Amino acid sequence: MPIRADPAASPVRKLLRPPLSPGRLIDRRAFVPKRGPSSSYEVHSTFRAPLDFVYRWCTDYTPKDARFSREGYTRRILRRSRHEVIFEDLYDTRQGWVWLRRVVRLRPPGRWHADSVGSDRVISVEYRLSRLTGNRTQLTIRARRRPYGIGVRNPPKSQWERSVARSWRNYGRALELEYKGSRPTGARR
């Protein structure tokens, strides 16, 4: 059944649709590939750095981020403002190239939210930072993921969470190293 394009659709829906002028009729079946059931995930990571430093470091998206996570992707930043970052990642996998576009809404001082759509999945991720004692910060990541397009089933919860936790351990090492290098000599540990 044809529907009218809604110019006020959510960021993910905007990513799913080709550019249309308001009021143009589209047939949703022509543009939306097969979808699967969604899964929820949660990962925690702790960093030896203060919350304000962790927030700035984590939300400073750059094309060089892949070197920290040790994942094989290429990143292109499409737009950056005080409140939003939009970028695309291209992964080279055993199954072929996988593309992902991410819209990140920044909510300082300790939150950000990312909606992503790609050739294999749709994912919505909430990132929250919490202050801990001893000048430490905890990151909580909550995600909902759904296979999309060429994607197969969602990975098992433990496998996805283990993979994301491993990436954030790698990010954490780089973050803490950069934090230690930014402190003045003789700063209290």
Range of the domain at 5: 1-32
- Examine the domain organization and report whether 25 and 52 are in the same domain: no
Q: Is residue 23 part of a domain?
A: yes
pLDDT for 51: 97
- Examine the domain organization and report whether 85 and 152 are in the same domain: yes
Q: Is residue 188 part of a domain?
A: no
- Examine the domain organization and report whether 38 and 104 are in the same domain: yes
How many folded domains does the chain comprise?
2
* 3-class secondary-structure state, position 7: coil
- Examine the domain organization and report whether 56 and 147 are in the same domain: yes
User: Phi first, then psi: what are they for 78, rounded to 5°?
Assistant: -95, -40
Q: Residue 3 above 60 pLDDT?
A: no
CA distances from 109 to 52, 112, 130, 131, 176 (A): 7, 9, 10, 11, 19
Q: Is residue 189 part of a domain?
A: no
Confidence of residue 31 (pLDDT cuts 50, 70, 90): very low
CA distance 186 to 189: 9
- Examine the domain organization and report whether 25 and 100 are in the same domain: no
Mean pLDDT score of the chain = 80
Q: Is residue 187 part of a domain?
A: no
- Examine the domain organization and report whether 22 and 106 are in the same domain: no
Global pTM reads: 0.75
Task: Give the pLDDT confidence of 114-149 residue by residue, as tens digits.
Answer: 999 988 888 999 999 999 999 999 999 999 988 877
Residue among 82, 81, 45, 40 at smallest CA distance from 176: 45
- Examine the domain organization and report whether 75 and 143 are in the same domain: yes
CA distance 87 to 105: 12
- Examine the domain organization and report whether 14 and 82 are in the same domain: no
pLDDT for 19: 43
- Examine the domain organization and report whether 136 and 148 are in the same domain: yes
- The angle subtended at Cα 157 by Cα 116 and Cα 103, nearest 5°, is 10
- As beta bridge partners, residue 28 has none
